[in-house]
Chain A
Amino acid sequence: MSIVIAIAALGGLTLLLAIMLIFANKKLFVYEDPRIDKVEDMLPHANCGACGYPGCRPFAEALVLKKSLPGKCTVSSDEGRQSIAEFLGVALGAEEKQVARLACAGGTNVAINRAQYIGVQSCQAANLVSGGGKGCFWGCLGHGDCESVCDFDAITMNEHGLPIVDVEKCTACGDCVEVCPKDLFSLQPISHKLWIACKNLEQGEAILEDCQVGCTACGKCAMDAPGELITMKNNLPVINYSESHNTQKPIQRCPTGAIVWLEDSGLMIKGKESRKIIRKGSRLMGNS
C-alpha cells in the first residue's frame, strides 16, 4: 500500500511542478538571435580569449551586435574570417598578425646554471626556489611551461632548452605570456622585427660569465639607431616602435647579439660584429 502512496504523492508533486515550469517557460521565453549560433559554428571553438572576449560564444554575440569585427579572431583561417564577415555583412576589420616573442636567448649552450634544480619539472615550481638555478636571474628557466600551456603546438623547446615559437601556428592567445614566471613572453605585431632578446638588468662585461648572449648595456645600438628609436633604460635598450623601425642598422655593432632582427619566417639574424656561438653542448660554470 505504501508504495502506491509514495508513487502517487511524488508523481503528483513532480507533475504539479512540471506544469508550473511549462507555463513559466512559455511566459518567460527569451528570444535569441539565431545568427549567434551560426556565427559560433563558424568560429574555431578554441575559446582562447585572444579576441578579448571570454570565449567563442560571447565573441559571436558581440559580432552579431556589431561590437567587434571578425578580424579580431586570430585563430580562424582567412577564409573563415571572410565567410563570417560576408554572413553578417560587416567589414573584415583585419588586424595585423601578432606573435609571442621571447625576450631571452640564453639556451644551455650559452648560459650557465649556478645551481642544479631537482624537482617538479616546471618553470613556475623552479621559480619558487630562489628564482630557479640559472646564472642569470632574468633568463629563461627552460622547463617548458610555455610549451605545455600552448593549445596550438606553436611552441617547442629546442635542443638548448629554449622555447621556439612557430610564427605560422601562433595565434597570439597570450597563454604563454601569462604562464611564464619570468615574464619573458610578450605579444608583438609581426612587423616589429627589431627585437631585444634579453631582460638582464645588470651592466657590463660581468654578465657574460652568466650568459654569452646577454645585453651588456654598452649602448651601441642606441647610438646607431636613427633618431630616438632606441633609448637605454635600466641597462637595457628599449625600442620605441612608434618610430620607423624598419632598419637593421642598430643590430650591426652589438658585441653579444642581444639585439636581433627577426624575419617573418622566425629566422633570427644577428649583427656582423656579434660573437659567434659554436658550442653545441651545454656550457658549464667557468667556461667562457
Chain B
Amino acid sequence: MNTESLGAIFLNACLVNNFVLAYFLGICPFLGVSGKMETATKMGAAVMFVMLISSMCAYGIHAFLVAIDAPFLQLISYIVVIASTVQLVEMFIKKMSPSLFKSLGIFLPLITTNCAILGVALFQTNKEYGFLESIVYALGAGAGFTLALVLIAGLREQLNFADVPKISKGTALTLFIAGILSLCFMGFAGLGA
C-alpha cells in the first residue's frame, strides 16, 4: 500500500504531474475545445466526472480481476467501462443542455479515447492506491485537466483581440501558448513523487 497523504496525492495529480502539461495526456480536447472559457469549464467538468466514475470502477474491476486470476482482462474492461460512462454523459448532456452538446461537438464522444482518463485508471493500479486514494487521485487529475483547459481558454480569449502576426494565428498560436504554459508548470517539477 501507498503511504502518501490524500492531500499530497491530490496536489501531485493536479499540479506537479499535471496530466496535460507534464504528461502530455489528453491533448486533443486541450487544444480542440479551449477556444471559449464556457465550453472549456464544462468540458473539464465532463472529463472530471468520467475520470471519477472510471476510477471507482477501475478499482473494483482490478480487485475482481485479481480475485478471479484474470488480470490480462484489465485493459479491455477499463475501456468498456470508460466508453459506457462517456455514452451516459453524452446522453445526459444532450438531454440537459443541447447547446453545450453542440459546442462540445465531436470532442464529447472523443472523451472515450481520451488518454488522460485511461491514464488515471492505469496509474492508480500501478501505484496500488486504495479506494479513497483512487478517488482523490481521479479528482486531482480531473481538477488539473480543468485547470489547464481554463488557463489556456482564458489566454486564447484574450489573444483573440491581440494583434498577432497573421502567419501564427490559429493552431500555431495555441501550440505556442500551450508550450509556455507547460514551461510554467515545470516550476513544480520534483516537488512530488
Q: Which of A2, A13, A29 gathers most chain B CB within 10 Å?
A: A13
Is there contact, CB below 8 Å, between A13 and B70?
A: no
Which 4 A-B pairs give the minimum distances between C-beta atoms?
A17-B84, A28-B91, A28-B95, A5-B68
Is there contact, CB below 8 Å, between B84 and A21?
A: yes
Q: Does B80 contact A (CB under 8 A)?
A: yes
Q: Which residues of B contact A267 (CB under 8 A)?
A: none
Is there contact, CB below 8 Å, between A9 and B84?
A: no
- Expressed in whole angstroms, the Cα–Cα distance for A227 and B65 within the complex equals 87
Q: Which residues of A contact B72 (CB under 8 A)?
A: 6
Q: Which residues of A contact B91 (CB under 8 A)?
A: 24-25, 28
Is there contact, CB below 8 Å, between A13 and B95?
A: no
Chain B contacts to A: CB under 8 angstroms? 61, 64-65, 68-70, 72-73, 76-77, 80-81, 84, 87-88, 91-92, 94-95, 98
Q: Which residues of B contact A20 (CB under 8 A)?
A: 84, 88
- Expressed in whole angstroms, the Cα–Cα distance for A250 and B45 within the complex equals 62
In the complex, 8 of the A-B residue pairs with CB atoms within 8 angstroms, ordered by the A residue number, are: A2-B70, A10-B80, A17-B81, A17-B84, A21-B84, A28-B91, A28-B95, A30-B95
Partner of B70, one of A9, A14, A30: A9
Question: What 10 additional pairs, Cβ within 8 angstroms, besides A6-B72, A17-B80?
Answer: A2-B70, A5-B70, A6-B73, A9-B70, A13-B80, A14-B80, A20-B84, A21-B84, A28-B92, A28-B95
A46 CB to nearest chain B CB (Å) = 20
Contact residues of A: prevailing secondary structure? helix
Take A6-B70, A17-B80 as given contacts and tell me if A30 and B88 are in contact as well, using a CB distance cutoff of 8 Å: no
- Expressed in whole angstroms, the Cα–Cα distance for A10 and B72 within the complex equals 11
Is there contact, CB below 8 Å, between A24 and B77?
A: no
Contact residues of B: prevailing secondary structure? helix
Partner of B77, one of A5, A13, A21: A13
Chain A contacts to B: CB under 8 angstroms? 2, 5-6, 9-10, 13-14, 17-18, 20-21, 24-25, 28-30
Is there contact, CB below 8 Å, between B76 and A30?
A: no
- Expressed in whole angstroms, the Cα–Cα distance for A18 and B87 within the complex equals 11
- Expressed in whole angstroms, the Cα–Cα distance for A13 and B79 within the complex equals 11
B111 CB to nearest chain A CB (Å) = 16
B76 CB to nearest chain A CB (Å) = 7
- Expressed in whole angstroms, the Cα–Cα distance for A20 and B89 within the complex equals 12
Is there contact, CB below 8 Å, between B77 and A10?
A: yes
Is there contact, CB below 8 Å, between A5 and B69?
A: yes
- Expressed in whole angstroms, the Cα–Cα distance for A10 and B70 within the complex equals 10
Take A28-B94, A28-B95, A30-B94 as given contacts and tell me if A10 and B73 are in contact as well, using a CB distance cutoff of 8 Å: yes
B87 nearest in chain A by CB position: A21
Q: Which residues of B contact A30 (CB under 8 A)?
A: 94-95, 98
Q: Which residues of B contact A10 (CB under 8 A)?
A: 73, 76-77, 80
B59 CB to nearest chain A CB (Å) = 14
Partner of A13, one of B61, B69, B88: B61
